[in-house]
Chains A and B, each alone.
Chain A
Amino acid sequence: MEEKMNVSIVYIDDAVKMKNDAFIDDIEDVVNEVKYFEKPSEGLTYIKQNIDKNIIVILDWKFNNSSVQGENFLNDINEISTLVPVIVFTGADIRAADANKMFDGNAFSCIPKDASTYELVTTIRKAYDRIQNDIRSVMEKWILKQDEEKRNKPYMRSGDRIYTLNDILASIRKQDEFGKETTRGIMSLATELFTNNMRGK
């Protein structure tokens, strides 16, 4: 049995038949859930509402009869959170211009529509690893390790506001201003400690 990932897959594709695709049935045991959305807007809403979950998005690139395309949705997702890896899954020929857009939109990977489930799962695992190794995830894990009681107690003050560990957790996940600032702060602190250590030796 493959190791299960604590992640929700959001699959956005306007080709309706893709909701019956074998990869969805194949990966159901290794992820928490696979949510299929024919309409990108509904997928985006779902991501917004479930931002506290680990999410990986699989995104179609070319949408029929629509001026809004994969690149736009990629940016929309980025605006919700940069923590969500997006795997572009497309049947179109990817030209340099598209590749640039994916790169600019911080896409995690691009997989052609004729890929095997194995290739898809491998990429999903890599994306999951990235989530896991992200400094924000490390903080998240640490917070979640504390017992519930401790998490609800005031933990720190920033400006006028008092934050509990749970507040901090929510901020980090949503990457609001406080969340971003905290992440940056801890990152520089970690670097500082790490380099001090090295100098000490």
Chain B
Amino acid sequence: MANNNSSILHFKFDVSTFRLLGRELITDRITALFELVKNCYDANAENVEIIFENLNPISEKSRIIIKDDGLGMTFEDIRDKWMVIGTSNKRRKRITPPPYNRIVAGKKGVGRFAVDKLGGKLVMKTKKKGSSVWHCLETDWTKYSEEEDRQLSLAFEELEDKKLFTDIDNKYWAESANKDEHGTLLEITSLSDSWTENDIIRAYKELSKIVKPAFSVTYPFNIRFVVPEYSAYNNRMVESIVLAKATLSYNLKYRFDDSNKTYYQEYLVEEKGTIKIKEKPAEIFGPIGFTLYYYDQEGKKNFTKEDRIDGIKVYRDGIIATPFAEYKAKRDEQKDLFGIDKRRWSGFFEKLSTRDIIGWVDITDELNPEIKDSTNRQDFVDNREWAALKDFVINQIHQIELYLKHKKEITKKKNSEILKKADNEISDISKKIDQIKKNSFFASPEVETELDDITKRLGVIKNTVSETSKDFVQLEKDKKQQENIMFSLVSLQAYAGQISHILRTSIGTIKRSAEFIEKWIPLKQKYDKSEKHAKQVFDEMNNLSKAMNFMLSYAEDDSTFEYFGIKDAIAELFDDIYVSLFEDNGIKAEYFVEDDFELSYNKKAFQDMFGNLIDNSVKALRNIKDKRIKCTAYRNNGSLVVLFSDNGIGVPEENRDRIFDVFYTTTADLGGAGLGLYIIKSRLESIKGTITLEENEFKPTGATFKIIIPLKD
């Protein structure tokens, strides 16, 4: 009974806590290794040796040793700090002892439990300089899990001697040592998984990022791998990523203006083919250092493996801020922290990707306090400051993109001019030689033969130059065309929104009609309306098919692009596909193709457009006596022009602007969904064509559509 007798209760830790702190907090073995190496850095170590022994297959002899020459610990440190969960000296002191003055990398005081992810048993040996013994501590995580298993196997009430996390014994002993030695050694055994060579490669690669590539430290931080099983990594120093021979490099700094107590940030601005570094007051995320290296194809050759170029990292006080050690075998799954590869707005070809740049953002705990690691250590806390920092980084990359684009244009223009000039020069020389020949009645026959030879050779060179020049122009055109095709794909993203709008609306209409029928038919009520809605279901289904075919036309690959004769394609429509429809409705349909030529496009898509127009005309003609449809095609200014007319009821003046809108229809009663003209318009837009409603050809009533499709020469 709760009454006034007060009492005090304490939290206790279940034995399973070891899992929560270790294997469940640290998601990956490499991250675990990373955390432990970070501790070495924080202990002012200069050299870390990571020894992997008997990794594959796993046996009792398998072990990982992480050995550093850092500060080491005293017995009291072990008892009062290492053994007390959550203690982190590093939270109090943000800087390691002098002369290193490193800003500490770990903060949470749980990095030591990362060991559990690597293996079940840890022996730690540590000592400070001057001490005559190594303090040795054995933590056997398997004891914890055995106790946990035992507890789980019993009912809660049966547990009389329930051991808590804090009740498990850990063995301590001392070993004699040389006074000058110092540092910490972690020996991990009972490994949980075997390590293949690939795993070692991963670990190596990720650790090569731990200290910033060009980080100039008076007190170095070296990591050495000792892996007897895999000779390529045995006795190998972890090297920083290669930075030599970048095509472009920028280093943006910041400064503090004492007069107005403001931080100023450097940033990049592209202006007509040059990049300038300018300055502005620091943004909300605080002042940062930003180093960016760009590699073109030539520059990338300096890398033994292209995947060493992998985008932009964030370093806090000189050490990588988030453990990107979360290695993904597939590059596409790797974390794109700044969303560099996700940018998809226009200009597909001019975007740089994480495969083109290496860079790092330097932040500090002091100046950028709002850029925080998220608790899972896989990202930053998504706040306004982080969003602004992302924008800043993307914008710097964008300036380089603009620069490259302009430079390319300038080079292009220059090259084309040089070729043209060369062509002219050769013509000039040819003319001069001709003149010499004409005037050189005094020349010897030998000289004349020589001159003839020179003229011939010049002819060959001239042809080559002209051909090259033509090739160059053609190449540019081809590229442009390729870009046009991409353009239509990119705009597909915009259409996707429209299409889902169409589908959702149609599905809703069908659903509610069906719902209506289902509800009222059994009640034997609203029979007429049920019939109406049954028809609506049918019509709407047809609209869905139409919308689906429209989408599928995008899904078809380039191989459906074919050369076909305009005349044949139109003839097929009028003389074959629609002939019975015309006959059934008493329509006189005629076509005139004034200039027969071939078009490279999707023939079916081309015919579908006219199919939609014909469908509309048939509806518009239903109450007209003398029904006519006429189609005329001709070539004009590098475009195909098609006029399509009927003498139907026409389009009322007030609706002329709306007929190409999605869902706009005047024939809803005939199942019109307002999709046909919208589809034609969208399709034409994707190939840079147009459709417009013109003054009607037939009088007094009717409609004439004009379609323009640009042709390539």
Contact = CB atoms under 8 A, between A and B. Distances in A.
A117 interface: yes
A16 B672 CA distance: 10
A112 B665 contact: no
Contact of B504 (A21, A91, A117): A91
Contacts of B668: 16-17, 19-20
B537 to A, nearest CB: 9
Interface of B: 497, 500-502, 504-505, 507-509, 511-513, 515-516, 519, 526, 529, 532-533, 536, 657-658, 661-666, 668-669, 672-674
A84 to B, nearest CB: 24
A136 interface: no
Contacts of A92: 497, 501
A20 B502 CA distance: 16
Interface centre among A91, A92, A116 (most CB of B within 10 A): A91
Contact of A114 (B511, B536, B662): B511
Interface in A120-171: 120
Given A91-B501, A91-B504, A93-B500, A26 B516 contact: yes
Contacts of A91: 500-502, 504-505, 508
Nearest to A63: B661
B508 A113 contact: yes
B492 to A, nearest CB: 16
Residue of B505, B515, B529, B661 contacting most chain A CB atoms (<10 Å): B505
B536 A20 contact: yes
A120 B515 CA distance: 12
Contacts of B657: 65
Contact of B512 (A16, A64, A116): A116
Contacts of A117: 512, 515-516
A113 B502 CA distance: 10
B512 A17 contact: no
A173 interface: no
A22 interface: yes
A156 B242 CA distance: 88
B515 A22 contact: yes
Interface of A: 14-23, 25-26, 62, 64-65, 91-93, 112-118, 120
A21 B512 contact: yes
Contacts of A114: 504-505, 507-508, 511
B663 A22 contact: no
Q: Which of B500, B657, B668 has the most chain A CB atoms closer than 10 A to its own CB?
A: B668
A22 B505 contact: no
Nearest to A120: B512
A170 B669 CA distance: 41
B516 A113 contact: no
B501 A62 contact: yes
Contacts of A17: 509, 663, 665, 668, 672-674
The CB with the most chain A CB atoms within 10 A, among B512, B532, B664, is that of: B512
B519 A26 contact: yes
A62 B501 CA distance: 10
Nearest to B660: A65
A91 B658 CA distance: 19
A22 B533 contact: yes
B517 to A, nearest CB: 8
A64 B513 contact: no
A113 B504 CA distance: 6
Contact of B515 (A14, A16, A26, A93): A26
A39 to B, nearest CB: 10
Contacts of B526: 25
A192 B497 CA distance: 53
B501 A115 contact: no
Given A16-B663, A65-B657, A21 B515 contact: no
Nearest to A64: B661
A50 B502 CA distance: 33
B505 A15 contact: yes
Contacts of B512: 21-23, 26, 116-117, 120
Counting from the closest, the 4 A-B pairs by CB-CB distance are A15-B663, A64-B661, A22-B516, A114-B508
Contacts of A62: 501
Nearest to A19: B668
A65 B657 CA distance: 9
A27 to B, nearest CB: 10
Contacts of B519: 26
Contacts of A116: 511-512, 515
A65 B678 CA distance: 12
Contact of B508 (A26, A93, A115): A115
B516 A25 contact: yes
Nearest to B662: A64
A64 B663 contact: yes
Nearest to A25: B529
Central interface residue in A17, A18, A120, by most chain B CB within 10 Å: A17
B631 to A, nearest CB: 27
17 contacts: A14-B663, A16-B664, A17-B509, A21-B513, A22-B516, A22-B533, A25-B529, A26-B516, A62-B501, A65-B658, A91-B501, A92-B501, A112-B504, A113-B507, A114-B504, A116-B512, A120-B512
A76 to B, nearest CB: 21
A185 B369 CA distance: 50
Nearest to B535: A20
Q: Which of A18, A25, A62, A115 has the most CB of B within 10 A?
A: A25
Contacts of B533: 22, 25
Given A16-B666, A21-B508, A93-B501, 20 more contacts: A14-B661, A16-B663, A16-B665, A17-B665, A21-B509, A21-B512, A22-B516, A22-B533, A25-B532, A64-B663, A65-B658, A91-B501, A91-B504, A93-B500, A112-B504, A113-B505, A114-B504, A115-B511, A116-B511, A117-B512
Contacts of A14: 661, 663-664
Given A26-B519, A116-B515, A15 B674 contact: yes
Contacts of B532: 20, 25
A64 B658 contact: yes
A35 B512 CA distance: 18
B399 to A, nearest CB: 27
Contacts of A93: 497, 500-501
A14 B511 CA distance: 20
A69 to B, nearest CB: 14
Contact of A112 (B508, B516, B529, B674): B508
Contacts of A113: 501, 504-505, 507-508
Nearest to B666: A16
Contacts of B666: 16
A22 B507 CA distance: 12
A66 to B, nearest CB: 9
A168 to B, nearest CB: 41
Nearest to A111: B508
A118 B514 CA distance: 12
Contacts of B658: 64-65
A16 B661 CA distance: 11
Contacts of B507: 113-114
B433 to A, nearest CB: 66
